[in-house]
């Protein structure tokens, strides 16, 4: 066991061992405070949903589950959603893990690389067959399928318009009470700030295929039975919202 592992064992154990009891107590308080600040920034929806006593214990539990392995607190939390899915809180609030996954996608997009469409690559549509084309999706884009009203829960806590927040809250509460309809959420970054939108299942399936490196032709085949999907309309939306980086011939 190296020194860092011995220190962590002392922090979470009953025996300070070779370390000062007072020093360990101070270190534990500082570690918890830093961890709570970090998680509250990376997972704001989760911390809005939970009261302070619950969230403090949750942070302590997560520190034991996944101790930080690097100096940048902003990169800590990638497995928080997986942790929540196993935590007893999910027995009563099953949507927490999906909310955490959405928060993390937004956090990652916020710190993602600024990428713009190579507009000249659109010429590939006129020159190649869909089966021979790859659509490179902006890496800031994340598609999530969920049994819960993720976008409404997110908007209920983060939408800039109070009326929209209240409307989203009422929709989320109604679904959680009366029965949820599976839905698709998309995180994307049109400029400098990430956005979260509810999208049709057909659009989610199409973009998931592209994210899985399927050809444009294969992605179109996935949604051929959906009357609500139009590639032309999607392409305009994708260009306007910076969903794609470029089109390229498949190797």
**What pLDDT digit, counting tens, does each position of 82-138 carry?**
999 999 999 999 999 999 999 999 999 999 999 999 999 999 999 889 999 999 999
Please give the mean pLDDT across all residues of the chain: 91
Kindly report whether the global pTM for this prediction surpasses the value 0.75. yes
How many C-beta neighbours within 10 Å does residue 149 have? Answer: 25
How far apart CA 112 and CA 98 sit, in angstroms, is 21
- Tally of helices (H runs) and strands (E runs) in the chain: 13, 5
How many C-beta neighbours within 10 Å does residue 137 have? Answer: 21
**What pLDDT digit, counting tens, does each position of 148-207 carry?**
999 999 999 999 999 999 999 999 999 999 999 999 999 999 988 999 999 999 999 999
Residue 92: HSE in the Cβ half-sphere, 13 Å Cα cutoff:
4
How far apart CA 210 and CA 188 sit, in angstroms, is 15
């Amino acid at each position: 066991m190296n020194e860092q592992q011995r220190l962590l064992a002392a922090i979470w154990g009953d025996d300070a061992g070779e370390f000062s009891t007072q020093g360990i107590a101070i270190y534990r308080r500082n570690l918890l405070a830093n961890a709570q600040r970090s998680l509250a920034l990376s997972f704001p929806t989760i911390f809005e949903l939970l009261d302070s006593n619950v969230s403090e214990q949750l942070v302590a539990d997560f520190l034991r589950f996944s101790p930080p392995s690097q100096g940048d607190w902003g990169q800590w939390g990638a497995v928080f959603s997986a942790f929540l899915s196993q935590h007893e809180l999910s027995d009563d609030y099953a949507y927490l893990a999906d909310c955490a996954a959405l928060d993390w996608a937004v956090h990652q997009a916020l710190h993602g690389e600024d990428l713009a469409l190579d507009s000249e690559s659109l010429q590939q549509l006129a020159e190649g067959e869909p089966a021979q084309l790859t659509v490179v999706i902006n890496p800031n884009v994340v598609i999530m399928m969920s049994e819960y009203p993720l976008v409404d829960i997110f908007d209920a806590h983060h939408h800039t318009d109070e009326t929209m927040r209240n409307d989203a809250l009422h929709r989320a509460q109604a679904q959680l009470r009366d029965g949820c309809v599976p839905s698709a959420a998309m995180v994307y970054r049109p400029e400098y700030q990430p956005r979260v939108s509810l999208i049709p299942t057909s659009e989610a399936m199409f973009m998931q295929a592209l994210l899985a490196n399927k050809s444009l032709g294969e992605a179109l085949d996935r949604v051929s039975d959906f009357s609500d999907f139009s590639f032309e309309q999607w392409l305009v939306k994708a260009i306007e919202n910076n969903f794609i980086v470029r089109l390229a011939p498949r190797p």
